[in-house]
């Protein structure tokens, strides 16, 4: 029986140990990083508001288009990061510790001990950038006396620049733990826009209330009829805006940026994800019939039948819904066009809106609203990882 010479490996322990975090990559992320045009990765967490008691103890890993949840997983088997020595017994790339005293080639030293690893997981369907963004943006409501914002008339003020809009979005997106593309999609979903605040000196982000959305849409529909603009075909957004505003400046009851946000919400999408912070210029566009019909039905219920106490008759709701659609789309107004989770019927003849989990906004103490301009807490990633242990 043949024998083999057994070579021993001397193990040493460097001090102090270095801080390492081992991240287990998914095949999808590994493929991205191994590609010829590897994306930049970002660690993002939501803004922490200690006054409101919000727990933001988690971190997501984001590319420009995708988001992964990071979890810290502990194991009874510790992992060691080791550094080998070269043939002369000198530690490879070792600046702090010499192995010459051992005088044993093939020695390795542990430079870090990892009792846990970080895993990447795809976000579940309940995770929503829009949910977080709704809680961070002020409400624009010119109809309800109970609205969060009593907007000042901004006519005659200096126009908001493209760089200002980009800055506002960047400040907001920095505190939304999702990729830029997903943040842009959420921005469009809630109809967010940039406008002057109360004093008219600062610009900030707003999201329209459900009643404001319906009011703007009514004016869009009325303007298109008066100026013979076919919303069912491609049209120039600027022509539609002029039809809404009219020749008299006093008819400009809401900002152009809000108009653009509503039109973009129901317009056909190109299908490609937008990973840029720049505002997309609205020129030629056409409406997406399926999206538009559903959005109008849901938004009307949210605005006028938000609870069981304010529920409306189903036949009345269908009639109003039809009146809010372009002429040839009237027959599209039927309950099967709405997701079953978006409404309920308290009795056989009435209907009301059901707020989905992804749309719910936590009410902060004192009715305050967290904005992207609030000073951030320090980003202590190690503390945030601790709350993600499994």
The CA angle 197-255-161, to the nearest 5 degrees, is: 70
Q: Average pLDDT for residues 193-220, to the nearest whole number?
A: 90
Q: What is the pLDDT of residue 368?
A: 37
**Residue 388: band (very low, low, confident or very high) from pLDDT cuts 50, 70, 90:** low
252-269 average pLDDT score = 90
What pTM, to 2 d.p., does this model score? 0.78
For 130, 143, 155, the CA distances from 147, given in Å and listed in that order, are: 20, 8, 21
Which carries the bigger pLDDT value, residue 62 or residue 127? 62
Partner residues linked to 60 by β-bridges: 44, 69
Could you tell me what percent of the chain has a pLDDT over 70?
A: 74
Question: What is the pLDDT, as a whole number, of residue 384?
Answer: 53
Q: Which pLDDT band holds residue 241 (cuts at 50, 70, 90)?
A: very high
Contacts for 142 with CB less than 8 Å, ≥ 6 apart = 151, 212, 215, 253, 254
Q: What is the pLDDT of residues 24-42, one digit of tens each?
A: 888 888 998 898 888 889 9
Q: Strand order in 193-196's β-sheet?
A: 138-140, 203-208, 193-196
Q: Over the stretch 314-361, which tens digit does the pLDDT of each residue have?
A: 999 999 999 999 999 999 999 999 999 999 999 999 999 998 655 554
pLDDT of residue 240 exceeding 50, the answer is yes
Query: Could you report the per-residue pLDDT of 53-99, keeping only the tens digit for each?
Result: 455 578 899 988 889 999 888 888 888 888 887 655 455 454 444 44
pLDDT of residue 304: 95
Query: Which SS3 state, helix, strand or coil, does residue 74 take?
Result: strand
Q: pLDDT higher for 280 or 293?
A: 293
| Strands 312-313 vs 284-285: parallel, antiparallel or unpaired | unpaired
Express each pLDDT in 369-386 by its tens digit. 444 333 344 445 555 555
Q: Is the pLDDT of residue 267 over 60?
A: yes
Tell me what pLDDT residue 283 has. 87
> Percentage of the chain with pLDDT > 90?
44
Mean pLDDT for the chain? 80
- Residue 111 scores a pLDDT above 80: yes
Give residue-wise pLDDT tens across range 138-197.
Answer: 999 865 444 444 444 444 456 888 889 999 999 999 999 999 999 999 999 999 999 988
Q: Which residues contact 384 (CB under 8 A, 6 or more apart)?
A: 45, 56, 57, 58, 59
């Amino acid at each position: 029986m043949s024998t083999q010479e057994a070579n021993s490996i001397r193990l040493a322990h460097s001090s102090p140990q270095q801080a390492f975090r081992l991240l287990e990559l998914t095949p999808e992320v590994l493929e991205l990083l191994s590609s010829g045009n590897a994306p930049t990765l970002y660690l993002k967490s939501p803004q922490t508001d200690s006054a409101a008691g919000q727990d933001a103890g988690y971190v997501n890993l984001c590319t420009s288009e995708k988001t992964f949840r990071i979890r810290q997983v502990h194991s009874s088997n510790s992992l060691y990061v080791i550094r080998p020595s070269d043939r002369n017994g000198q530690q490879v790339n070792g600046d702090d510790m010499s192995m010459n005293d051992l005088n044993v080639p093939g020695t390795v030293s542990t430079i870090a001990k990892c009792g846990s690893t970080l895993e990447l997981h795809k976000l579940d369907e309940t995770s929503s950038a829009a949910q977080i963004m709704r809680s961070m943006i002020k409400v624009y409501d010119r109809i309800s006396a109970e609205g969060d914002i009593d907007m000042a008339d901004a006519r005659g003020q200096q126009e908001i620049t493209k760089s200002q809009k980009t800055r506002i979005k960047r400040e907001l997106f920095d505190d939304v733990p999702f990729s830029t593309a997903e943040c842009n999609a959420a921005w469009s979903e809630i109809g967010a826009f940039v406008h002057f605040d109360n004093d008219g000196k600062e610009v900030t982000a707003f999201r329209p209330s459900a009643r404001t959305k319906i009011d703007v849409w009514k004016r869009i529909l009325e303007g298109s009829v008066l100026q013979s603009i076919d919303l069912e075909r491609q049209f120039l957004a600027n022509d539609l805006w002029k039809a809404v505003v009219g020749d008299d400046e006093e008819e400009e009851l809401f900002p152009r940026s809000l108009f653009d946000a509503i039109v973009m919400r129901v317009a056909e999408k190109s299908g490609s994800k937008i990973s840029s912070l720049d505002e997309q210029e609205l020129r030629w566009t056409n409406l997406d019939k399926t999206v538009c019909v559903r959005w109008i039905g849901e938004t009307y219920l949210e605005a006028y039948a938000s609870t069981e106490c304010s529920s409306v008759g189903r036949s009345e709701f269908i009639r109003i819904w039809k009146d809010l659609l372009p002429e040839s789309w009237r027959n599209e107004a039927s309950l099967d066009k709405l997701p079953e989770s978006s409404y309920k019927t308290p009795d056989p003849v009435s209907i009301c809106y059901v707020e989905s989990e992804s749309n719910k906004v936590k009410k902060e103490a004192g009715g305050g609203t967290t904005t992207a301009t609030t000073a951030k807490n320090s980003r202590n990633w190690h503390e945030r990882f601790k709350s993600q242990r499994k």
